[in-house]
Structure 1
Amino acid sequence: MIVTGNDQDEIFSLQQYLAFEFEMKQLGNLKYFLGIEVARSKHGNIDKGRYQRLVGKLIYLSHTRPDITYAVNDVSQFMHDPRKFHMDIVERILRYLKSTPGKGILFSNNGNLNVEGYNDADWAGSKDDRRSTSRYSTFVGGNLVTWRSKKQPIVARSSAEAGIQRHGTRCM
């Protein structure tokens, strides 16, 4: 049982009552719960190191979970100065992962080695900086083998320009 709150006297009183009614053992401060690391701060600020570790693990995991790649890319842009809002998004990604076990990439023998590729770009899709994002995916035999999503280095002035920017150069 986890007992938490901001009134230490009340917590102690509750723990004494519960220990009288039930056989209990005090294990000290909570460090992990359901695979999530618990951090404390007197100021209520986000632990930057914890945020960076969690996002780093999510980046690694996104190699086999393309469904979280976009969201992880978004939160990784705030590694230098995360806010509570960003940590809330990371926790939402973790809740999503917990509710969707086994949803990684599955490779199966489809009886062919056909190669298919798809690409796309949005126009000023980022609400934060109005830059476009281009993306592509490649399938071999119906199995996803490569994918990428990359924010364009400059702001596109048209939807056509958003689709043809390559390697920091613009084609007009």
Structure 2
Amino acid sequence: MGYKQSQGNHILFFNHSSLGGVTTLIVYVDDIIVTRNNDAEKRLLSQCLSQEFEMKIVRRLKYFLGIEVAYFKNSIFLSQQKYVIDLLQETGKTTCKPVNSPISSKLICLAHIRPDIAYAVSVIIKFMHNPKQIHLQAAYHVLHFLKGITGKDILFKKHDYLALEVYTDVDYAGSIVDQRSTSGYCTFLGGNLITWRSKKQNVVSRSSAEAEFRAMAQGICEILWVNIILKDLKINIDGPMKLYCDNKSMINIAHNPIQHDRTKHRD
């Protein structure tokens, strides 16, 4: 049995393995996604849940948390176009002029399947409990950006390989307020983007190499968690897990064992 709670969206993940297969439940308030590689047991589980709760069973996933799901041959398309259009109508921004960047260099707001606004989202929510006019303008800026990219969403395509990879990067001392760096990573499974994150580091890094270390540590934690989920689902990846970064200092340290002594505090 596996379990994880997503802190940002309060989504519960349950994985259960048995001799007959693997069952996964994703629960958000009163919405539940049930997956299993055994159709008979999946139907039995749905019947058991229906006996305890009043439920409406939809056979194929079409809409969840503002995400529309479309199925094609060997691919799945995730879109938030309807959610964006509804948001623009609600805020009176349906006729706004689109912009080319999601944030001016200050704030953010919104991102289920949009890694391009992940950083923008992480900034605006810091002020959600005490917003001011400048923060509202920053949120409107994000809406203007979304107006220009409706229909550009995420496509999951079936490939002949199932490699697990993570790319990490860092904006060294990017914050002009506290000189802290912002870490970012993107995780790919079989060439498809599955998770991503952009978050300011908790401490001030004293070098670009140290900042890169922290970003890599977050990427490693993410790829290990994804691998655990895949094992629970009885899915085997092709080859070793791979971590990519573009920092020359980190690459040189990794290739030169003599320099490993300088990084023992970060083993």
1:33 shift after superposition: 9.7
**d(CA) in 2 for partners of 1:163, 1:115:** 20
Structure 1 counterpart of 2:166: 117
Q: Does 1:37 align with 2:86?
A: no
Residue among 116, 133, 139 paired with 1:84 = 133
Letter in 1 for 2:121: V
Match of 1:143 in 2: 192
Larger C-alpha radius of gyration, 1 or 2?
1
Amino acid at match of 1:67: D
Alignment counterpart, residue 143 of structure 2, candidates 90, 94, 109: 94
Bigger relative contact order (CA 8 A; separation at least 6): 2
**Structure 1-normalised TM-score?**
0.60
Ranges in structure 2 where 5+ consecutive residues have no aligned partner: 1-85, 93-107, 219-264
Count matched residues. Answer: 119
- Runs of 4+ in structure 1 deviating by more than 6 angstroms, as ranges, are none
Please show how residues 20-35 of structure 1 align to structure 2 within 5 Å.
35=89
State how far apart, in whole Å, the 2-side matches of 1:33 and 1:154 are: 35
Write out per-residue CA displacement over residues 32-91 of structure 1, whole angstroms, 9 at most, x where no aligned residue: 9951336xxxxxxxxxxxxxxxx7xx43xx121111111111111112322211111110
Deviation at 1:118, TM superposition (A): 0.9
Opposite residue 101 of structure 1, the aligned amino acid is T
Distance across 2 between alignment mates of 1:33 and 1:147: 23
Structure 1: give runs of 5+ residues left out of the alignment. 1-31, 39-54
State how far apart, in whole Å, the 1-side matches of 2:180 and 2:88 are: 37
**Which residue in the other structure is 2:202 paired with?**
153
* AA matched with 2:91: E
Task: Work out the CA distance in 1 between the residues paired with 2:188 and 2:131.
Answer: 35
**Does the CA contact (< 8 Å) of 1:65 and 1:103 recur in 2?**
no
Percent identity for Structure 1 against Structure 2: 47
Distance 1:116 1:33, change over 3 A: closer
Match of 1:11 in 2: none
User: TM-score, normalising length from structure 2?
Assistant: 0.40
1:66 correspondence with 2:115:
yes
2:180 aligns with 131
